[in-house]
Amino acid sequence: MSRRLTHLSFLVLALLLAPARMPARAQSNVDASLPPAWTAATSGAAAGRLQDEPDPSETPIYAENHLLVRFAPGTPDEVKRALHEEYGAQVIREIPALNIQVLLLPEDSVAMVSAYQAEEEVRYAEPDYLFTIQGWPSEQQPDLSAATTNGLDEIPNDPLYSQQWHHQTINSAGAWDISHGTGVTIAIIDTGADCNHPDLRDKCVRGYDHVNNDADPRDDQGHGTHVSGIAAAMTNNALGIAGTGWDAKIMPVKALNSRGSGNLSWIAAAVTWAVDNGADVINMSLGGRYTSRSLQDAIAYAIDHGVPVIAAAGNDNTSNPSYPAAYPGVIGIAATSQSDTKASFSNYGDYIDVAAPGVAILSSVMGGSYQAWNGTSMASPVVAGVAALLVAQGPCRSPAQIEQILEATSVDLGTRGWDRVFGAGRIDAAAALRYDLNPCGGSSPSPTPPSSGGPPASPTPRPSPTPLPTSPPVTGGASERVEVLINRERGALGLPPLGVLESLRRAAGKHSLDMAVMRQCTHAGSTGSDPASRMRAEGIRLPYGEIVACGQVSPEAAVEAWMNSPGHRAIILCSSCVTIGAGYQASGDGYRHYWTVNFANDPVSGPAPTSPPPPTATDVPPPTATNRPVAPTSPPPTSFPGSTDVELKPILGRAGWVVSTEPYANHFDSADMFTGVWNERAYHGAMQFDLSAIPADAHINFARLQMYGRSSGSLTRAGTWTVNMMDPDVDRGFEGHGYARIHGAGIESPLLPLLSADDIDEGRENLFNFTNPQLEGIRTRVASTALISFRMDGPTSGDFANLASWDTGQSDKATYPPPVLFINYSIGKPVPYPTATATPILPATPVPPDPGPTDPPATIPPTGTPPPAPATPLPSATVPPTPRPEDTQKVVELVPQPEDVGWVRSNDPKSYLGTRNTFTGYYMQQEYHGLVQFDLSQLPKNRVITHARLTLTGQSVQRLSSVGNGRWEAAILTSDVDAGWRYHGFKRIDDTRAVSRLEPALLQADLDVGRENLFVLGPDELRELSWRSLTTGKISFRLDGPRGGTSNVFDWDAGYGGNPPKLTVVMGPPTSDNPLPPAPPSDPERIERLLRAVNDARAQNGLRSLELSDRLTNAAEQHTWDMTAHRFFDHVGSDGSTPDQRVARSGFDALQVDQLIAGQNGEPETVVQTWMRSGEHREKLLDPLLTHFGAYYRYAPGTYFGHYWTLVMAQAR
């Protein structure tokens, strides 16, 4: 269950804006500058810059052209239809329980969110976000042939039960002595289930397929079948495995497709369908990075109907929250290993409730077999099965009580008490079932009688249960402790203590009680009261502010959470307030602990408290070493060992607002960043950060932007607000930009989430996490302008006043902290894992998860790892003898950096460099390439390369096909990929042309563990190697294997096994002059090819060809040399010149000028193709008014982009 805290401060604003509604209907405000659906892990193409374009095979953030709209209750159908007709929308599905319609739109959904949000009848509108599975096949596969039937009565007779290590860890047998989960149904919201599997055949009840909208939820991916078996496979049937839920039934609800991903609309519909069709427990082994109001409403629908929801915490080893696990009321599950330690992939953070085994979990797979998989997807159904056993104990097990029992009986791991890694601890099923918590009153329920063939009827006697830790009673002790702790924090920083006012205590206590009754964490009272009115009602004349927290189990936890949040900390450390009063209320439901602290400037007589009241056993729970934080946002991610954190604030004098009535002026010295509409004027907030503190070669791991609301008094309910990363061409001269320049700037990428009026409030934190395209945007700016600029967009029409404001933190009128851009970066990769000599079925220590190809299905008995074969080179007439240093020659043996070796696969947009593998081939319908890059800086420049060879050492044959077919090759890639090697994904690697393929090509018979494979560089390859040593200083190899057929993958050692790839180079005697390598295609030739490609693209679209202009060519040449000489990538020159000014200087008389630039790619045809795939670039290329053009290209080794292009186009006057 996610914890929350919030705060509010009362200060008089200098600008008072009175909201008033216009009588006319709000018009749609569709911002055409918003980009198409951005992908979750691809580089974005900004206006005037070229990088890898989004790949359709990569996972997008949301489904294009889909929108979820929730209407206000009672909205007539004819009103909905009229609204859809106005926007050209079509209803493709409905979620009746939530009053939500799913729409198909004629244009991108992000652009239409604002339009629908502005309508009075709409509660909210949001994109159809995508969610994915959270598990994959494990490398640790048990020997199924070794499974035997255990004849002991107290455990099930399933032959693979002994291979299911998680049952022994969580003490499933002890739980089954008490309950079998009879009569309970677990809804598995996943990819479906193979209900013909022998271990699932008699367990499935009626389900539904929300992907295809039919009643056949069969699995077409495999994930759901595996999850179903963990939760409730047939148990004690002398076949296969045992399910945690024993007799519990499985309701397969398909909401994820064959690729393991699913739309928000499918998943929200699946949750409500499951509740309405008899589910008693819901398991969601899926996750997404973006919060959704629709899914949160669906989760609330389940919990309100008494159905507990268990969800996987995610597999990114990060503190960034994963949804739905992070929603209030959901039981979020982390994963543990066989040694009761954190699974290396498992997420952590303030939303983790408990942990469960999630490494090498054996369960059912499609086709009637069994496999071990890894993931928090596997940990979640373990807990869901235990929840089913608890539900079967009696009708009064509420979701909150099930969570309470699981947390109270978990085995404490890690830091004492609750912690961010394991939550309350790793679950203990037997302890949970024996826990004496009977909410119905009377005696505890009797153990469920076993079914035929089950455990014996006489259960193991229960030990005397440990009472569940109760909430502190509603007395003064807990609230007084909060006051004391706050005064200690103030004293440590040299601030005077605050005096206690009983009237403030009364106001705080009443609000805590009110929150507990409402089960909400909010400043708004049930009667609509606000903090100031509540304090004044108690006689307070000068109220200052209020902070609240929900979910903390102790005063120490609440105060620590407040102090870790800048907004709350600012109120606690206020210099003007003099008095304090705290209140606390416990509850058996909701957040369970509700804290309120009020601050005022009213004086008090008598000394301030300086020592705590005597503690009691039940008053204040003992503090733990690490208390659970309650902030609504996750703490800064710290997943990368050896990484560096920087917190940047806007540049002084470059944060504020612009208004449409002042096209050439700004207010960048203001305390406000006004955004929205007021008095028929449009406002944009804007700010700029300095990135010079980040090294140019840094790898950006995480980034997020944090802002604090300053004013919400002029907001109406309608509207959407976004924060957008502007194109880098606005970075220079930012302090002089007015509304015209800021409003007209291109948007490289909008940050998520989109905000509604409900998300914006005075003092409220708004946090935006950066996706991979936006991280790439930071990287390019670090290497070019060293600046990054943001614009806030809001409604520009409709209500007379609909204006939000965030605090800049810069003016003397500022109330809250300034915006903070948090960036985590590293130089290089984390230290590699050591390679074990053997992997037992159940190792004593966890093996780091490998997201690559998995071991063969368990139906094929594993053959083990063959002994290493002698390192014998392949026979070849052209293989040179082993190089030996002599007086007349030099031998250099190059070994790649660990982070330059790894692999990519076709269903994953990112690369896996710095891993132990170089997977190459085809596995489970995915293509794999191994990757190796060498640094050539060690090669002397005054010697001629005479021989060279590449050596790879085999590491694993476990994934090779038993058929014995296939062909493996090593290829040198074009120099385009040398720069930015560590950021390339599968598409870039797979699309890159091979300069040459090395000899020999390998057959499967040539591959073995420990065997050296030698690839010889011929004359052409030697010339390429010489050229690279003098230009890019790098050479990049791609390993190619089978691309289809049966699964067939080979793995060479990346260096973790002691045999890294080697490039052995033999060089002749020194020469008096540096040898000249073969020249690449001439610059004029490349430029001519680019111009020809541009005119070909125009001709294909029925447009006239452009004429070559020497003057425009001169303007392009000047800018290309400027970018390479000064190492930046921007439309604005180092002298501040714009494209229009450079064209004017060239002497070309132009009515209009358009310029495109590109980097990282030296192939002109590819450059034009990429421009054509980007909407804004395409629009410029196909402008029918253009008449002339000119272009220039330059290769600059050692720079970030390597290749630099400038295309200048103009309309002659």
Active site residue 377: yes
Last residue of a domain, one of 405, 434, 463: 434
Residues 144, 102 share a domain = no
Residues 87, 215 share a domain = no
More confident call, 836 vs 244: 244
Cβ atoms of 707 and 650 closer than 8 Å:
no
d(CA 470, CA 538): 30
**Maximum average pLDDT range among 51-55, 176-180, 568-572:** 176-180
Classify residue 340 as exposed, middle or buried by CB count within 10 Å of its CB (0-12, 13-18, 19+). middle
Which of 677, 660, 723, 702 has its CA nearest to residue 34? 723
Residues 1135, 1018 share a domain = no
Classify residue 710 as exposed, middle or buried by CB count within 10 Å of its CB (0-12, 13-18, 19+). buried
Do the domain assignments include residue 1009? yes
Do the domain assignments include residue 873? no
Question: Alpha carbon 451 to chain centroid distance?
Answer: 44
Identify the weakest region by mean pLDDT among 425-429, 864-868, 1016-1020: 864-868
Residues 399, 252 share a domain = yes
Residue 226 DSSP SS3 = helix
pLDDT above 90 covers what percent of the chain?
34
More confident call, 106 vs 335: 335
d(CA 1207, CA 1172): 14
Count other Cβ atoms within 10 Å, centred on residue 639: 16
More confident call, 137 vs 665: 665
Count other Cβ atoms within 10 Å, centred on residue 978: 20
Do the domain assignments include residue 40? no
Do the domain assignments include residue 606? no
Q: Give me the DSSP letters along 937-994.
A: TTS-TTEEEEEEEEEEEEEE-TTS-TT---EEEEEEEPGGGTTTGGG--HHHHHHSPE
d(CA 389, CA 387): 5
Query: 564: which residues sit within 8 A by CB, 6+ positions away?
Result: 629, 631, 635
Banded model confidence at residue 220, pLDDT cuts 50, 70, 90: very high
Banded model confidence at residue 1055, pLDDT cuts 50, 70, 90: confident
More confident call, 634 vs 665: 665
Banded model confidence at residue 244, pLDDT cuts 50, 70, 90: very high
Which residues span the domain enclosing 83?
Answer: 62-129
Q: Please tell me the predicted confidence (pLDDT) of residue 217.
A: 95
Which of 399, 190, 189, 405 has its CA nearest to residue 302? 399
Which of 166, 210, 223, 1177 is the catalytic position?
223
Residue 452 DSSP SS3 = coil
- pLDDT for residue 725 is more than 80: yes
- pLDDT for residue 865 is more than 50: no
d(CA 504, CA 506): 5
Q: Please tell me the predicted confidence (pLDDT) of residue 389.
A: 94
User: What CATH number has the domain bearing residue 1149?
Assistant: 3.40.33.10
- pLDDT for residue 819 is more than 90: yes
Banded model confidence at residue 1138, pLDDT cuts 50, 70, 90: confident
| Mean pLDDT across 1189-1204 | 79
- pLDDT for residue 135 is more than 50: yes
Residues 396, 259 share a domain = yes
Last residue of a domain, one of 434, 468, 493: 434
**Phi, psi angles (nearest 5°) of residue 1087:** -65, -40
| Mean pLDDT across 993-1003 | 87
More confident call, 1197 vs 596: 596
Q: Please tell me the predicted confidence (pLDDT) of residue 110.
A: 65
- pLDDT for residue 1198 is more than 90: no
- pLDDT for residue 860 is more than 70: no
Do the domain assignments include residue 882? no
Q: pLDDT per residue over 444-482, tens digit each? A: 322 222 232 332 233 332 222 222 223 333 334 788 889
Residues 1151, 1121 share a domain = yes
The beta-strand segments (E) located in 864-900 are 890-894
More confident call, 18 vs 129: 129
Q: Give me the DSSP letters along 666-699.
A: -BTTSSEEEEEEETTEEEEEEEEEE-TTS-TT-E
d(CA 897, CA 1058): 13
- pLDDT for residue 835 is more than 60: no
Identify the weakest region by mean pLDDT among 270-284, 313-327, 804-818: 804-818
Q: Please tell me the predicted confidence (pLDDT) of residue 432.
A: 92
User: What CATH number has the domain bearing residue 72?
Assistant: 3.30.70.80
- pLDDT for residue 334 is more than 90: yes
What b/e string do you get for 308-328 counting C-beta neighbours within 10 Å, with b at 16 or more? bbbbbbbbbbbbbbbbbbbbb
* Helix (H), strand (E), coil (C) string for 713-774: EECCCCCEEEEEEECHHHCCCHHHCCHHHHHHCCEEEECECCEEHHHCCCCCEEEEECCHHH
Which of 43, 346, 377, 906 is the catalytic position?
377
Do the domain assignments include residue 577? yes
| Mean pLDDT across 755-772 | 78
pTM: 0.44
Banded model confidence at residue 727, pLDDT cuts 50, 70, 90: confident
Among positive and negative, which fits the CA dihedral 845, 849, 853, 854? positive
Residues 277, 359 share a domain = yes
Active site residue 929: no
Residues 962, 1104 share a domain = no
- pLDDT for residue 228 is more than 50: yes
Residues 734, 800 share a domain = yes
Do the domain assignments include residue 1152? yes
| Mean pLDDT across 1039-1063 | 88
Q: Please tell me the predicted confidence (pLDDT) of residue 264.
A: 93
Residue 1002 DSSP SS3 = strand
d(CA 1075, CA 1082): 19
Residues 15, 140 share a domain = no
Banded model confidence at residue 46, pLDDT cuts 50, 70, 90: very low
Split into its structural domains, the chain has a count of 6
**Maximum average pLDDT range among 140-154, 437-451, 1188-1202:** 1188-1202
Cβ atoms of 766 and 790 closer than 8 Å:
no
Q: pLDDT per residue over 1078-1097, tens digit each? A: 434 347 888 999 999 999 99
Q: Please tell me the predicted confidence (pLDDT) of residue 352.
A: 93
Cβ atoms of 1203 and 1159 closer than 8 Å:
yes
| Mean pLDDT across 91-95 | 94
More confident call, 665 vs 229: 229
User: What CATH number has the domain bearing residue 164?
Assistant: 3.40.50.200
Do the domain assignments include residue 885? no
d(CA 1091, CA 895): 41
- pLDDT for residue 1155 is more than 90: yes
- pLDDT for residue 338 is more than 80: yes
More confident call, 652 vs 638: 652
Residues 493, 559 share a domain = yes
| Mean pLDDT across 1175-1185 | 87
- DSSP H helices, 895-941, are none
Q: Please tell me the predicted confidence (pLDDT) of residue 600.
A: 85
Which of 190, 297, 514, 807 is the catalytic position?
190
- pLDDT for residue 204 is more than 80: yes
Question: Alpha carbon 1126 to chain centroid distance?
Answer: 35
Q: Please tell me the predicted confidence (pLDDT) of residue 396.
A: 58
Q: Please tell me the predicted confidence (pLDDT) of residue 828.
A: 60
Banded model confidence at residue 70, pLDDT cuts 50, 70, 90: very high
User: What CATH number has the domain bearing residue 963?
Assistant: 2.60.120
d(CA 23, CA 279): 47
Q: Give me the DSSP letters along 470-533.
A: PPPPSSHHHHHHHHHHHHHHHHHTTPPPPEE-HHHHHHHHHHHHHHHHHT---SS-TTS--HHH
Q: Please tell me the predicted confidence (pLDDT) of residue 139.
A: 67
Q: Mean pLDDT in the chain? A: 77
Q: Please tell me the predicted confidence (pLDDT) of residue 1200.
A: 59
Q: Please tell me the predicted confidence (pLDDT) of residue 826.
A: 83
More confident call, 192 vs 916: 192
Residues 378, 308 share a domain = yes
| Mean pLDDT across 369-378 | 93
